[in-house]
């Protein structure tokens, strides 16, 4: 059997390259090899949830996209039955709902996840929701909090990216320059930060 770490690393690499079909096959094959009582099954459900959520974003046809989003929610709900994966599954459902523009419902799930454990991810999630709701001061507060809690250099590029975007929209040029400068410095050390910087197209 393939080593657990190797399987999940391959999954992440395939997801980053948007090779969704290959990632699905990898997870399904791994799933078949696990005992039905193996708790890693809930981890597979979780990863399939994120896979279908991301996959749906690449689909232009609305009904097909909706099918993939519904599949994502099914897998997240299966994963939620395991306490270890509960918070991440709640975040997943919230993210699918946000992508479906069901913002008020998404907020409820994000808050539930945030109440279980407050960290970089949940603060950034709430920032995304409040940005969608045009509650800019709250969004900025949560993005700043996410940045302060992001210990991983690559991850910190996410709230920095969001802070640049929201301040650019608000025409806060001073803050745009401040966060852009930090992101540019980070991009010299982190490939992921470099990708986030490229997405800004500034």
* Mean pLDDT, residues 174-185: 95
In the chain, what percentage of residues exceed pLDDT 70? 97
* CATH no., domain 1-117: 1.25.40.10
Would the pTM of this model clear 0.85, i.e. be above it? Answer: yes
**What pLDDT, on a 0 to 100 scale, did the predictor assign at position 152?**
74
* Mean pLDDT, residues 50-73: 96
Q: Which residues does 94 contact at the CB level (< 8 Å), separation at least 6?
A: 106, 107, 108, 109, 110, 113, 125, 129
Q: Which residues does 97 contact at the CB level (< 8 Å), separation at least 6?
A: 103, 105, 106, 109
> Quick check: do 1-117 and 118-202 share a fold?
yes
- Domain 118-202, second-level architecture: Alpha Horseshoe (1.25)
In the chain, what percentage of residues exceed pLDDT 90? 83
Maximum Cα–Cα distance for the chain, whole Å? 56
Domain boundaries, the chain: 1-117, 118-202
How sure is the predictor about 1, in pLDDT bands with cuts at 50, 70 and 90? very low
Q: Which residues does 110 contact at the CB level (< 8 Å), separation at least 6?
A: 90, 91, 94, 122, 125, 126, 129
């Amino acid at each position: 059997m393939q080593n657990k770490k190797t399987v999940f690393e391959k999954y992440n690499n395939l997801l980053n390259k948007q090779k969704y079909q290959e990632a699905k096959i990898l997870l399904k094959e791994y799933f078949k090899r696990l005992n039905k009582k193996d708790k890693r099954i809930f981890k597979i459900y979780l990863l399939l949830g994120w896979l279908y959520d991301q996959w749906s974003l690449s689909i232009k046809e609305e009904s097909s996209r909706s099918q993939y989003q519904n599949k994502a929610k099914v897998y997240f709900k299966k994963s939620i039955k395991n306490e270890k994966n509960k918070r991440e599954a709640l975040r997943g459902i919230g993210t699918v709902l946000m992508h479906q523009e069901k913002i008020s419902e998404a907020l409820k799930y994000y808050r539930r996840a945030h109440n279980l454990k407050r960290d970089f991810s949940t603060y950034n999630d709430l920032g995304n929701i409040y940005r969608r709701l045009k509650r800019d001061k709250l969004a900025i507060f949560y993005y700043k909090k996410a940045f302060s809690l992001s210990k991983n250099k690559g991850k910190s590029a996410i709230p920095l990216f969001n802070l640049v975007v929201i301040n650019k929209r608000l025409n806060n040029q001073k803050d745009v320059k401040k966060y852009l400068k930090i992101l540019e410095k980070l991009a010299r050390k982190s490939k992921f930060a470099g990708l986030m910087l490229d997405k800004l197209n500034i």
